[in-house]
Structure 1
Amino acid sequence: MTPMIYTLYGFAIFFFVFWCGIWILHLVAILYGKYKLHNKVSLIPGDVPYPGVSIIKPLMGVDPNLFSNLETFFTMSYPKYELLFCIEDDTDPAIMLVNSLMEKYPSIDTRLFLGGSDVGVNPKINNMNKAYEAAAYDFILVSDSGIRMKEDTLLDMMNCMKENVALVHQMPFTCDREGFAATLEKIYFGTALARNYLFADFLCINCHTGMSTLLRKSVLDEVGGMKAFGCYLAEDFFLAKTFLDKGWKIRISSQPAMQNCGVCEVNNFQARLTRWAKLRVAMLPLIILLEPLSECMVIGASAAWAAGFLFQWDSLAFYLVHVLVWFICDWILLSIVQNGLLPFNKFDFVIGWLFRECSGPYLFLHALFDPAIKWRTRVYKLSWGGVAQEVKPRIKF
Structure 2
Amino acid sequence: MSFSIYIYGFAIALFIFYCGNLLLHIFGITYGKIKLHKKPCLLPRESPLPSVSILKPLMGVDPNLSPNLETFFTMQYPSYELLFCIEDKEDPAVAVVNNLIDKYPKVNAHLYLGGSKVGVNPKINNLNAGYVHAKSDFVMISDSGIRMKEDTLLDMVQHMKDGIALVHQLPFTCDREGFAATFEKIYFGTYQARMYLTADLFGAICHTGMSSLIRRDVLEEVGGLQAFGCYLAEDFFLAKSISEAGWKSAVSSQPAWQNSGICDVTSFQLRLTRWAKLRVAMVPHLIILEPLSECMVLGCLASWAVNVLFQWDALPFYLVHILVWFLSDWIMLSVVQNGPLPFNKFNFVVGWLFREFTGPYLFACALFNPAIRWRERTFKLHWGGIAYETKSRIKS
TM over 0.5: yes
Preserved contact between residue 153 and residue 255 of structure 1 (Cα < 8 Å): yes
What residue number does 2:201 align with?
A: 202
**Shift of residue 393 of structure 1?**
7.5
The equivalent residue for 2:268 is: 269
Kept in 2, the 8 Å contact 1:44–1:50? The answer is: no
Aligned to 2:128: 129
Distance 1:300 1:269 in 2: 26
1:123-162 correspondence to structure 2 within 5 Å: 123-162=122-161
CA distance in 1, matches of 2:19, 2:246: 32
- Structure 2 counterpart SS, 1:145: coil
Which amino acid is the alignment partner of residue 360 of structure 1?
Answer: G
Determine the C-alpha separation between the residues in 2 that align with 1:289 and 1:311: 26
Counterpart of 1:50 in structure 2 is: 49
Equivalent position SS for 1:119: coil
Equivalences for residues 156-235 of structure 1 within 5 A = 156-235=155-234
Partner amino acid for 2:65? L
**Distance in 2 between residues matched to 1:261 and 1:242, nearest whole Å:** 30
**Does residue 285 of the first structure (1) align with residue 278 of the second (2)?**
no
Query: C-alpha displacement at 1:331, in angstroms?
Result: 0.3
What TM-score does the superposition give when structure 1 sets the normalisation length? 0.98
Does the 8 Å contact 1:71/1:101 carry over to 2? yes
Separation in structure 1 between the aligned mates of residue 317 and residue 50 of structure 2, nearest angstrom: 55
How far the C-alpha of 1:41 sits from its partner, in A, is 1.2
Cα distance in 1 for partners of 2:306, 2:46 equals 61
List alignment gaps of at least 5 residues for structure 2: none
Contact 2:115 2:129 in 1 (8 A): yes
**AA matched with 2:44:** P
| 2:370 corresponds to | 371
* Residue 256 of structure 1: aligned partner: 255
- The alignment covers a number of residue pairs equal to 393
Q: Aligned to 1:214, what secondary structure does the other structure show?
A: strand
Structure 1 residue aligned with 2:110:
111
What is the aligned partner in structure 2 of residue 320 from structure 1? 319
2:388 is aligned with 1:389: yes
Secondary structure at the aligned position of 1:99 is classed as: helix
Counterparts in 2 of 1:91-110, with a 5 A limit? 91-110=90-109
Q: What CA deviation, in whole Å up to 9, does each residue of 1:280-301 have, x standing for no partner?
A: 0000001011101111001111
Moved more, 8-17 or 203-212: 8-17
For residues 140 and 393 of structure 1, what CA distance do their matches in structure 2 show?
28
Contact preservation (8 Å) 2:222, 2:245: no
| Matched AA of 1:387 | I
Task: Give the aligned partner of residue 11 of structure 1.
Answer: 10
1:262 aligned counterpart, secondary structure: coil
> How far does the alpha carbon of each residue in 1:177-204 deviate from its partner, in whole angstroms, 9 at most, with x for none?
0000000000000000000000000000
2-structure distance, mates of 1:309, 1:49: 63
CA contact (8 A) 2:307 2:314 kept: yes
Aligned residue for 2:358, secondary structure, equals helix
SS at match of 2:329: helix
Taking structure 2 as the reference length, the TM-score comes to 0.98
Q: What secondary structure, in the 3-state scheme, does the structure 2 residue paired with 1:141 have?
A: strand
Q: For residues 257 and 213 of structure 1, what CA distance do their matches in structure 2 show? A: 9
Paired residues of 2:50 and 2:79 also in contact (CA < 8 A): yes
Instruction: Give, in whole Å, the separation in 2 of the partners of 1:225 and 1:200.
Output: 25
Kept in 1: contact 2:68–2:145 (CA 8 A) = yes
Once the two structures are TM-superposed, the CA of residue 44 in structure 1 deviates from its matched residue by 5.6
In 2, Cα distance between equivalents of 1:244 and 1:154: 23
Read off the aligned partner of 2:78 and give its amino acid letter: P
TM-superposed CA distance for 1:334, in Å, is 0.2
What is residue 244 of structure 1 aligned with on the other side? 243
Amino acid at match of 1:6: I
- 1:292-331 correspondence runs (5 A): 292-331=291-330
1:307 match: secondary structure: helix
